[in-house]
A and B are shown apart, each in its own frame.
Chain A
Amino acid sequence: MISTNTNAMSRRFAPLDKRGDLDAFRAELRAWLSATVPVDWPQKMEGADTASYVAFQRWWIGEMRKVDLATPHWPREWGGEDISLSQQIVVSEEMARANAPDPDLFTISLYHLPATLFGHGTTEQRERYLRGAKEGRDIWCQGFSEPNAGSDLASLRTRAERKGSAYVVNGQKIWSSFGMFADYCLLLARTNPNAQKKQAGISYFILDMKSPGVTVRAIRQITGEAEFSEIFFDDVEIPAENLIGQENEGWTIAQSTLSAERGLIVFNQAEKLARAFDRDFQLGKGSWAHDHQFRREFGLLHARMRALRILIRRMLTEIERNPEMGGAVITTFIKLHWATLLQDYTAFLLRAEGAGTLALRPSVLGGGSNTGLRVNDFLRSYAWTISGGTNEIMRNIIAERVLGMPRG
C-alpha cells in the first residue's frame, strides 16, 4: 500500500474557493498536490498487483473528491463545478507539474457516463447512477467493441432480445478497459437484426456487471499488464428501465459518449508530455543531445508538441464559446496529431537512449503515457493509435468529412 503524506492532514485545502484569482488558485493547487501526492508513487506502482492498483486509484479519486476536483468539468446542477477554460488549464498544468496519477480506472465514470446520461438518460437513471460515479464509488466500463466489430463498430452482433420486462443479452464484447473491476457497463447491443441500416438496430443499455451470466476475462496486453478485458454474455437479463433513450436509437447516443471527453484527457496527457520533453532533454544533455541527428529530431518533435498544446487550447476555447458543437472538427485533428506524436516521440527515445531502454520491466500502472520506462511507454502508445478510432479511421474522417473527398 502506498504511504500517504501525513501533511495532508495538517490543513484543509480548498483550491476552488480561490478560483477567482488564477494565481492564488494555482498556488493552492500546488500546495494541495505537494501535500497529497506521494513523491514515490510511480516506484510503488511499477509492477504493482491489481489489488494495490485499485486501492491506490480509489485513494486518489477520494483525495480529488475532498477538494472537488474529481468532477470539476461536470455542470453545477449535477454537483460539478462548471470549471472555466482558464481554470481547467491551471488544473492540468499543476497536475502535470506534480506528476499526479491519472485516475484511469474512473475514465468512463467521470467522462463517458455523464456525457451519455446528461443528454439521454431518464431522471431516474441520472439520480440512480451519477451519484455513485461522482462519489468515486462505482467503476464503469464500456461495452462497445466486439471481436468482429472494431473500426466497423456498427456491425456489432451482441444480441439483446426483449422478453417481458427485461432484455436478454447474448454475445461478447472486447477491449473494455478495466472491465474486471467494473460495477457497471455502458453496453451497445443489437435489438433489431433486420434493420435496413446496421446503425439503426442498435440499443444502448446500462448493465450491472454482477448480473448472472456475465463473465469477464482480462486481456494481457503487449506491455505484459492487463488493462483491457473481454466480457461474455450468456442469457444476461437487463431490466427494461436500463435502456438509455429509445430502442434502436443507441447508435446516435453512442456518438455523444464517444465525444465525451472532448479532448480533456488528451489535454492532461499533453501537459504531461510537455513536462516529459523538459525532463528527457535534461537527461539527454548527458548523452544523445550531443548528437546532431538526435537533437534535430528532438527539435522537430518539440515543435510538434508545442503545436499540439496550442491546438488543444484552441479546442477548449471553441468548446467554451459553443458547448454544444464547439471543437467537433479540431478534436479529430488533435486525436491524430497526439497519437502519432506520442508514438514517434516514444520511439525516438528508444533510439536516442539506446539499449538500456529495452530492459524488461513492469509498467507503472496509472502513470500515463510518459512514465520514463521507455519501451513500455512506446508499446503503450499503440493504445492511442488504435483505440477510440484508429489513425486510419481518423484519416478517413478527416478526408471525407473535413476535406470533402468522395467515399470509396
Chain B
Amino acid sequence: MNSDADRDGLQSSIREVLREECAIDTIQRHVLSGRDFDDSLWHCIASLGWLGLSISDQHGGLGLGMDALAILYRELGRALAPVPVLSTLLAADAIQELGNEQQRQRWLPAIAAGRLRATISDPTRSVVLDARRQGSDIVLEGGAEVLLDGALTDLSLLLVNVDGQLLFAVLDRATPGVTLEQLPVVDQTRSFGRLSLDDVTITSDRVLGGSAVESVCDRLMLHAAVAVASDAMGGAESILASTIEYLKLRQQFGKVIGTFQALKHRVADHHVAIIGAEALVENVAEEASRGRPDLAGALECKALATSVYARIAQDCIQLHGGIGFTWEHPAHLFLKRALVDATLFGSVEQTLDRFIARLGV
C-alpha cells in the first residue's frame, strides 16, 4: 500500500466488519460451544477477500504486502477472532515462494477463496521431521505436537529433512496414515492440533523444496513474528481500552476508582508501552512491504509486543478486581490469548536469543 490513508482505510473497513461479525459476545458463545473455530466468520472473511490480501493477483489475491497483513492480524487480535488465518496465510506464503506454477494454481486460489485451510511447521525450524526417499516419493514417520490450527486444516506443510536437505511436504488430511487430533489449549480462540504420521508417502508433486527453503523460512519467520506482534497489539489495545472504561464507571469509597492515582499511573504506563511497541511493529511491517525485510527487527518487535501484551492483559485482570476473575467477564480471554502469543513460534526469551544471535553473538 502506498500511503497512510490506504492503510487507515483498510484498517477501518476490517475493524468495522469484525465489530459486527466478531463482537465480544460472539466470542464468548464460541468459547462455550467448544468448537475449534468459527466457521461462519471464516466464510465472511473469505468472501471479503481478506484471505487473499498477500496472495498474488494471478492466483486470486490482491498482492499486498506485510503492512496490509499486519493490519489484518492486528484487527483479528483486537477481536480475538477464532479463525485459522495466520496458519493459512503462512502456508500460502510458503507455497507462493517455493511452489512451481502448477502447485500455486492448485492451492493458492482455493486458499484465497476460503475453500482450503492450511497450516505449516514452525518456521523457526525448531521442529524438523526426518524423512526418507523412496524412489521419487518421500516417506514420513513420527508427528508434530502443538501444530497451530493443526486439527482443523485441510493442508499441512511440514518441514522435513531428507538426506540433509530441508523441504516442505504438503500433507492432505485425507492422505492415508495422517491422523489429526485437536489439542485443547487454554486460549479457546486459537486452536492447536497433534499430527501423527504412520508411514505416510508423499509424491513429488506435493513437495516444496529447492535451495530457497532456508531463506523462505527466514521470510516466514518475519511474517510469523510480525503477525503475532500485531495480534498482540490489537489485543492489548482492546483490553486496555475496555479496562479504562471500567475504571471510569466502577465506584468504591464513594468515588469513581479511575480517580485513584495508583490506577491511573498503571494505565498511563500501559498506554505508553503500547504506543512504543506498536510504532515498532508498524515500522517493521512497512519496511518489509517496501522490500526491506529486517528479520532481526521483526524478532525484537515480537519479543517486545508479546511481553507488553502479556503484562497488560495480566494487570487488566487485577485492575478489574473480582469481576475480572470470573468466566463471565471477557478479560480472561485476552489474558489467555496473550499467554499463547508470548509462546507462539518461540517464547519471548527464545525470540530474544534469536534476535541477539543476529546482532552477532
Residue A405 at the chain B interface, CB threshold 8 Å: yes
Beta-carbon contact of A298 and B356 below 8 Å: yes
Which one of A298, A310, A396, A406 lies within 8 Å of B258 (CB-CB)? A406
CA distance A407 to B247 in the complex (A): 12
Main secondary structure, interface of B, reads: helix
Question: Min CB distance, B107 to chain A, in Å?
Answer: 35
Beta-carbon contact of B259 and A392 below 8 Å: no
Beta-carbon contact of A289 and B301 below 8 Å: no
Beta-carbon contact of A400 and B272 below 8 Å: no
Beta-carbon contact of B275 and A405 below 8 Å: no
Question: How extensive is the interface on chain A, given as a class?
Answer: 35 or more
Number of residues from B at the complex interface, CB < 8 A: 36
Q: Give the interface segment out of A9-17, A156-164, A301-309.
A: A301-309
Residue A222 at the chain B interface, CB threshold 8 Å: no
Give B262-289 as 1s and 0s: 1 = Cβ < 8 Å from A's Cβ atoms.
0011011101100111011001000000
Beta-carbon contact of A285 and B360 below 8 Å: yes
Beta-carbon contact of B307 and A292 below 8 Å: no
- If A296-B353, A299-B352 touch, whether A307 touches B359 (CB-CB below 8 Å) is no
Beta-carbon contact of B355 and A299 below 8 Å: yes
Which B residues touch A300, using CB under 8 A?
300, 303-304, 307, 352
CA distance A26 to B261 in the complex (A): 47
CA distance A321 to B244 in the complex (A): 31
CA distance A404 to B276 in the complex (A): 20
Which A residues touch B361, using CB under 8 A?
285, 289-290, 295
Beta-carbon contact of A299 and B272 below 8 Å: no
Beta-carbon contact of B280 and A408 below 8 Å: no
Residue A214 at the chain B interface, CB threshold 8 Å: no
Residue B327 at the chain A interface, CB threshold 8 Å: no
Residue A398 at the chain B interface, CB threshold 8 Å: yes
Which B residues touch A333, using CB under 8 A?
271-272, 275-276
Which B residues touch A298, using CB under 8 A?
356
Closest to B258 in A: A405
CA distance A403 to B260 in the complex (A): 14
Question: Min CB distance, A297 to chain B, in Å?
Answer: 9
Residue B256 at the chain A interface, CB threshold 8 Å: yes
Report A371-408 residues with CB < 8 Å from chain B CB: 392, 394-396, 398-400, 402-408
Question: Min CB distance, A400 to chain B, in Å?
Answer: 7
Beta-carbon contact of A289 and B264 below 8 Å: no
Give B290-304 as 1s and 0s: 1 = Cβ < 8 Å from A's Cβ atoms.
000000010011011
Give B341-361 as 1s and 0s: 1 = Cβ < 8 Å from A's Cβ atoms.
000000011001101100111
Residue A131 at the chain B interface, CB threshold 8 Å: no
Beta-carbon contact of B300 and A299 below 8 Å: yes
Beta-carbon contact of B276 and A405 below 8 Å: no
Question: Min CB distance, B355 to chain A, in Å?
Answer: 5
Beta-carbon contact of B272 and A336 below 8 Å: yes
Question: Min CB distance, A276 to chain B, in Å?
Answer: 14
Residue B132 at the chain A interface, CB threshold 8 Å: no
Which one of A314, A336, A408 lies within 8 Å of B260 (CB-CB)? A408
Main secondary structure, interface of A, reads: helix
Beta-carbon contact of A302 and B300 below 8 Å: yes
CA distance A281 to B352 in the complex (A): 14
- If A289-B356, A295-B353, A300-B304 touch, whether A403 touches B283 (CB-CB below 8 Å) is no
Residue A311 at the chain B interface, CB threshold 8 Å: yes
Closest to B305 in A: A303
Residue B248 at the chain A interface, CB threshold 8 Å: yes
Residue A337 at the chain B interface, CB threshold 8 Å: yes
Report A282-336 residues with CB < 8 Å from chain B CB: 285, 289-290, 292, 295-296, 298-300, 302-304, 306-308, 310-311, 314, 330, 333, 336
Beta-carbon contact of A403 and B268 below 8 Å: yes
Which one of B259, B269, B276, B297 lies within 8 Å of A304 (CB-CB)? B276
Closest to B265 in A: A395
Which one of B248, B271, B352 lies within 8 Å of A296 (CB-CB)? B352
- If A285-B361, A295-B352 touch, whether A310 touches B279 (CB-CB below 8 Å) is yes
CA distance A289 to B247 in the complex (A): 42
Which A residues touch B248, using CB under 8 A?
404-406
Question: Min CB distance, A331 to chain B, in Å?
Answer: 12
- If A310-B279, A314-B279, A333-B276 touch, whether A295 touches B356 (CB-CB below 8 Å) is yes
Which one of A295, A299, A398, A406 lies within 8 Å of B268 (CB-CB)? A398
Beta-carbon contact of B271 and A405 below 8 Å: no
Question: Min CB distance, A325 to chain B, in Å?
Answer: 18
Question: Min CB distance, A392 to chain B, in Å?
Answer: 7
CA distance A402 to B248 in the complex (A): 14
Give B237-260 as 1s and 0s: 1 = Cβ < 8 Å from A's Cβ atoms.
000000010011000000010111
Closest to B282 in A: A310
Closest to B299 in A: A299
Which A residues touch B349, using CB under 8 A?
292, 296
Which A residues touch B247, using CB under 8 A?
405
CA distance A61 to B261 in the complex (A): 43
Question: Min CB distance, A241 to chain B, in Å?
Answer: 43
Which A residues touch B261, using CB under 8 A?
392, 396, 408
Give B219-243 as 1s and 0s: 1 = Cβ < 8 Å from A's Cβ atoms.
0000000000000000000000000
Beta-carbon contact of B268 and A399 below 8 Å: yes
CA distance A310 to B281 in the complex (A): 10
- If A299-B355, A399-B268 touch, whether A406 touches B259 (CB-CB below 8 Å) is yes
Closest to A311 in B: B279
CA distance A130 to B6 in the complex (A): 44
Question: Min CB distance, A293 to chain B, in Å?
Answer: 9
Give B39-67 as 1s and 0s: 1 = Cβ < 8 Å from A's Cβ atoms.
00000000000000000000000000000
Beta-carbon contact of A307 and B279 below 8 Å: yes
CA distance A408 to B256 in the complex (A): 9
Beta-carbon contact of A303 and B272 below 8 Å: no
- If A307-B279, A307-B280, A405-B244 touch, whether A337 touches B272 (CB-CB below 8 Å) is yes
CA distance A336 to B247 in the complex (A): 22
- If A300-B352, A337-B276, A406-B248 touch, whether A396 touches B264 (CB-CB below 8 Å) is yes
Beta-carbon contact of B356 and A296 below 8 Å: yes
Between-chain CB contacts (< 8 Å), 15 pairs: A289-B356, A290-B361, A300-B300, A303-B277, A303-B304, A304-B304, A310-B280, A311-B275, A311-B276, A333-B275, A337-B272, A392-B265, A395-B268, A399-B268, A403-B244
Q: 7 closest Cβ contacts across the A-B interface? A: A399-B264, A307-B276, A303-B304, A299-B352, A395-B268, A398-B268, A303-B300
**What would 8 more interface pairs be, CB under 8 Å, given A306-B280, A336-B269?**
A285-B360, A300-B300, A304-B276, A310-B279, A310-B280, A395-B264, A396-B264, A407-B259
